[in-house]
Amino acid sequence: MLSIIEQIKQGQLWDFPGGIHPPEQKTLSNRTAIAEAALPPKLVLPLKQHLGAIGDLLVSAGDKVKKGQMLTHTDVALSVPIHAPTSGTVIAIEQHTIAHPSGLSDRCIVIEPDGEETWTAKTPVANYHDASPADLIDHIRLHGIAGMGGAGFPAGRKLQSGLGKTEILILNAAECEPYITADDRLMQDHAEEVIKGIRILQHILQPKLTVIGIEDNKPEAIAALQAQVSEQDNIVIRVIPTKYPSGGEKQLIKVLTGKEVPSKGIPADIGIMMHNVGTAHAIKRAVVDGEPLIQRVVTVTGQTVKQPGNAWALLGTPVQFLLERFGFKADKKLPRVIMGGPMMGFTLPHTAVPVTKISNCILAPTRKEISPTTQEMACIRCTACAEACPVSLLPQQLQWYAKDEDYDKCEEYNLFDCIECGACAYVCPSEIPLVHYYRQAKAEIHHRKQDEINAERAKQRFEAKKARLERDKAERENRFKKAADNRRQEMKSSGGDDAVAAAIARVKAKQAAASPDTSTEKKPAVAAAIARAKAKQAAAQAAQSENTEALPDNTEMAKLREERKRQARERKAAKQAAEASSDLEAPASTGDAKKDAVAAAIARAKARKAAQQARATETEAAEPEKAEAEQADEPADDPKKAAVAAAIARAKARKAAQQARTTETEAAEPEKAEAEQADAPADDPKKAAVAAAIARAKARKAAQQARSTETEAAEPEKAEAEQADASANDPKRAAVAAAIVRAKARKAAQQARSTETEAAEPEKAEAEQADAPADDPKKAAVAAAIARAKARKAAQQARSTETEAAEPEKAEAEQADVPADDPKKAAVAAAIARAKARKAAKEAEQAGKNAPQNHEEN
């Protein structure tokens, strides 16, 4: 079986799937030789004119440059520098629109030519046969050679990838794109230089066979090349059928060798290297002549151009300048300029875009020559695009996924195998710009992958930094540990441990010496405070358990507090009395001693009433009660004084009963009648005392009737009575209890008086009665009779709602009739009187709330 090389030498050809035959239109520009373009007034050199990274700037605005001078420098293999196309001045380094389908701007160097064409020092290789491949590759890279077939891949990096493994070297001379004739004219006019460049490539790669693939529509170029090739060159010129896109790298390899480049692979993977004939010409100029890539052949064609042809254009020449050089006249209805051919080119945003290393054609067609793109329509699934695809892809599905931004599916359907030839879009009846979708999807995928690479690099840097910090920390800890060990060793050798131990012992001794002082200063005081607190707590608990049996002796303090409160009350009462006296306009003295005394008594009664109303809002009655109880402690040893206190309590109970009469407007006459009846026995003191006792019993009975609506008061009354009985043998306790009762009676009277506004008249009457001389037995009897009448009136009102209280009242009245000079019985009577007084006060309160309020002025 013949090898691939033998088959190629025998003239065997293969074919690739798909492909189309668009109108060529090459005869417009391939009939004339390559012209020399004039020097433009300004050159715009983009920093990026190739695949890969851009170099670092070596010049700045205002610098003078010479022709062929390096403007950027880089040590990266996938990058090439750019050189000054002519001598002149760098007037700016700025953003400018570049030759790219996106129409975006990029950083550019703007040079103003001086017209002198002054060359910088050239650096040719004297004899490339003696130079090593690595030196030649580096020389080619430094002279800015990039692939001139359209991809712009750095030639030096491409040659380096094929060193030692290239069996077949292919020169691409097919130039299948319609309208473009730059390579055709280059081979016709400079065939010798092209063949010399191929020989340099053969010297670097050492292939077993070199093949020039050229379409059969270029007979002049074929003849020119054959004239320069000799038998010892080991170069085969292979003419292939005209078919688009046979000029594609993978398609031409398939046609010439029958091999297929693997998906996502390169030709070097199968032992094949391919370069464009324009690249071979530039390599010859760089190696033999020492000239960097500063110009290239550009086809200017289209029916709007008066004299279409090819020209040597300096890199950076504005497209508008070239168009004017060949007589361009824009179409009136659809003016447009295309960079590249009609199949793979793109429309320029304006004609100020500069020529770059990969610009091989400027096409300015009319509207009829190349129909404008119409509105995109829906895919009809005709499969014409799939049949025309030279890579056997499914263009319609790739377009759906690209439009839907499903980039994973795009990669799954081998989007990156697409060579963007445009055959699918050319045959699409729906006029869908398929290549545009593919380019956009490729750019997005590249962008995302670059982000992932950057993220991975950042992660690696972070992990490396973290590891470095941990390593530094471990080293630092080890260093400190080692230093500490060294110090310990030194201290052991010099006896330093004893000194340290001695210092620690001294510190502990100081602490031990200081601690006893602290304990002696602080602990006794703390213990004493604790003991006092415990004693107080025990006393409080004992007092709580014994109730009234163990009372603290705070008599003096209570007296002082009570005295201050009494003085405050007197001052307040005096102030209110003064205000009342000013409002009431007391009558002046009439000269009659008796009338003057009555007026003074009325004034005193009003003053007492004002004081009592002020005390009605006081809720802290506990302290006054205790204080009064303590004050009453002094006369506790005198039974006679205890009896007097009980009598006073009974009098206050009668006063509380009198307050209930505030709702009675008809009591005046009965009182007078009873007073007249009581006047008969006024001369007998014994009878007067009996009458007073009866009155007291009736007052107690009225208080008991008030208890008929209060079912919860029985137990407190019994308890209080029992306490009073228990304390009857003890005169001191009896006196204390009587004092507490008096305080509570006062409080009840004040609360009852808070709702009484019409009490002026009874007070006047009582004041007049009280004004009589105390030593007149007759008047005293009259006053007692009046009091009894009022008590009976209060009892009658209470009896209106009580029908079942007769028997208890009689029993209590009989108990109350005991002589007042028995201390034990007096104490019991006082306790009973206090309980009844409380009930009477509550009943009076309820009656006062329901009674109408009568306001009278005296």
Encoded amino acid at 409, one letter: K
Same domain flag for 733 and 843: yes
Query: Among 345, 337, 245, 248, which Cα is nearest to 22's?
Result: 245
Q: Would you say 738 and 642 are in contact if contact means Cβ atoms under 8 Å apart? A: yes
- Residue 813 is predicted with a pLDDT of 38
Assign 208 a pLDDT band (cuts: 50, 70, 90).
very high
Assign 721 a pLDDT band (cuts: 50, 70, 90).
very low
Assign 164 a pLDDT band (cuts: 50, 70, 90).
confident
- Residue 727 is predicted with a pLDDT of 43
Q: Does the reported pTM lie above 0.75?
A: no
- Residue 158 is predicted with a pLDDT of 92
Same domain flag for 488 and 608: no
What would the pLDDT profile of 606-637 be if each residue is shown by its tens digit? 767 766 765 654 444 434 444 444 443 443 34
- Residue 679 is predicted with a pLDDT of 41
- Residue 100 is predicted with a pLDDT of 83
Distance CA 147, CA 835 (A): 125
Task: Please report, for the domain that includes residue 200, its CATH number.
Answer: 3.40.50.11540
Contacts of 702 (CB under 8 A, 6+ apart): 657, 660, 791, 794, 795, 798, 836, 840
pLDDT at 778 over 70: no
- Residue 753 is predicted with a pLDDT of 59
Same domain flag for 183 and 262: yes
C-alpha distance from residue 792 to each of 62, 420, 648 (Å)? 131, 128, 19
Same domain flag for 605 and 672: yes
Residue spans of beta strands (DSSP E) within 653-750: none
- Residue 513 is predicted with a pLDDT of 85
- Residue 608 is predicted with a pLDDT of 75
pLDDT at 715 over 50: no
Assign 571 a pLDDT band (cuts: 50, 70, 90).
confident
Same domain flag for 690 and 610: yes
- Residue 697 is predicted with a pLDDT of 65
Query: Residues annotated in the binding site for [4Fe-4S] cluster, as ranges?
Result: 379, 382, 385, 389, 418, 421, 424, 428
Same domain flag for 406 and 478: yes
pLDDT at 795 over 60: no
The secondary element (H helix, E strand) that includes residue 522 is helix 496-546
Distance CA 393, CA 412 (A): 11
Same domain flag for 512 and 453: yes
**What residues make up the domain containing 406?**
373-516
- Residue 190 is predicted with a pLDDT of 94
pLDDT at 201 over 50: yes
pLDDT at 183 over 90: yes
363 assigned to some structural domain: no
Q: How many Cβ atoms from other residues are within 10 Å of residue 743's Cβ?
A: 20
Q: How many domains does the chain have?
A: 3
Q: Would you say 271 and 144 are in contact if contact means Cβ atoms under 8 Å apart? A: no
662: three-class secondary structure by DSSP: helix
Comparing 730 with 438, which gets the higher pLDDT?
438
What would the pLDDT profile of 364-397 be if each residue is shown by its tens digit? 999 888 887 778 899 999 999 999 999 999 999 9
pLDDT at 765 over 70: no
pLDDT at 11 over 70: yes
Lowest-pLDDT choice from 4-13, 72-81, 163-172, 675-684: 675-684
Same domain flag for 625 and 692: yes
Same domain flag for 614 and 507: no
Distance CA 325, CA 311 (A): 10
- Residue 706 is predicted with a pLDDT of 52
Same domain flag for 487 and 629: no
498: three-class secondary structure by DSSP: helix
Distance CA 60, CA 2 (A): 60
Query: What number is the average pLDDT over the span 114-133?
Result: 91
Lowest-pLDDT choice from 15-24, 263-272, 507-516: 507-516
In the numeric block, which tokens belong to residue 296? Answer: 């290239």
Query: What number is the average pLDDT over the span 502-519?
Result: 74
pLDDT at 297 over 90: yes
The domain boundary, picked from 290, 320, 350, lies at: 290
Q: How many CA atoms lie within 13 A of 595 on its CB side?
A: 7
Same domain flag for 484 and 562: no
- Residue 237 is predicted with a pLDDT of 94
% of residues, the chain, pLDDT over 90: 42
Handedness of CA 304, 308, 310, 313 (dihedral sign): negative
175 assigned to some structural domain: yes
- Residue 580 is predicted with a pLDDT of 62
- Residue 800 is predicted with a pLDDT of 52
Same domain flag for 512 and 638: no
Distance CA 473, CA 237 (A): 69
pLDDT at 46 over 90: yes
Beta strand 235-240 with 88-97 is unpaired
Q: What is the DSSP letter of 129?
A: T
Output the CA torsion 285→287→290→295 (10° steps).
Answer: 30
pLDDT at 42 over 80: yes
Q: Does the N-terminal peptide bond of residue 245 adopt cis geometry, omega within 30 degrees of 0?
A: yes
Assign 499 a pLDDT band (cuts: 50, 70, 90).
low
- Residue 735 is predicted with a pLDDT of 57
- Residue 768 is predicted with a pLDDT of 42
Q: How many CA atoms lie within 13 A of 202 on its CB side?
A: 18
Comparing 453 with 533, which gets the higher pLDDT?
453
The domain boundary, picked from 461, 485, 516, lies at: 516
Q: Does the N-terminal peptide bond of residue 40 adopt cis geometry, omega within 30 degrees of 0?
A: no
- Residue 685 is predicted with a pLDDT of 52
Query: Among 121, 139, 115, which Cα is nearest to 69's?
Result: 121
153 assigned to some structural domain: yes
pLDDT at 415 over 70: yes
% of residues, the chain, pLDDT over 70: 66
102 assigned to some structural domain: no
Q: Would you say 195 and 228 are in contact if contact means Cβ atoms under 8 Å apart? A: yes
76 assigned to some structural domain: no
Contacts of 230 (CB under 8 A, 6+ apart): none
- Residue 196 is predicted with a pLDDT of 94
Q: Would you say 645 and 733 are in contact if contact means Cβ atoms under 8 Å apart? A: no
- Residue 309 is predicted with a pLDDT of 93
509 assigned to some structural domain: yes
634 assigned to some structural domain: yes
- Rounded to a whole number of angstroms, the distance between the first and last alpha carbons of the chain is 151
What would the pLDDT profile of 460-486 be if each residue is shown by its tens digit? 999 999 999 999 999 999 999 999 888
Q: Would you say 763 and 598 are in contact if contact means Cβ atoms under 8 Å apart? A: no
Distance CA 698, CA 679 (A): 19
- Residue 21 is predicted with a pLDDT of 92
Q: Would you say 419 and 177 are in contact if contact means Cβ atoms under 8 Å apart? A: no
Assign 809 a pLDDT band (cuts: 50, 70, 90).
very low
Distance CA 241, CA 250 (A): 16
Q: What is the DSSP letter of 422?
A: -
Residue 682 φ then ψ, to 5° = -70, -25
Q: Would you say 701 and 806 are in contact if contact means Cβ atoms under 8 Å apart? A: no
Distance CA 692, CA 249 (A): 143
- For the chain, what is the mean pLDDT? 77
The domain boundary, picked from 290, 322, 340, lies at: 290
pLDDT at 519 over 90: no
pLDDT at 792 over 80: no
What would the pLDDT profile of 751-762 be if each residue is shown by its tens digit? 655 544 343 343
40 assigned to some structural domain: no
The string of DSSP codes covering 152-180 is: --BHHHHHHHTTTT-SEEEEE----STT-
Query: Residues annotated in the binding site, as ranges?
Result: 379, 382, 385, 389, 418, 421, 424, 428
- Residue 518 is predicted with a pLDDT of 47
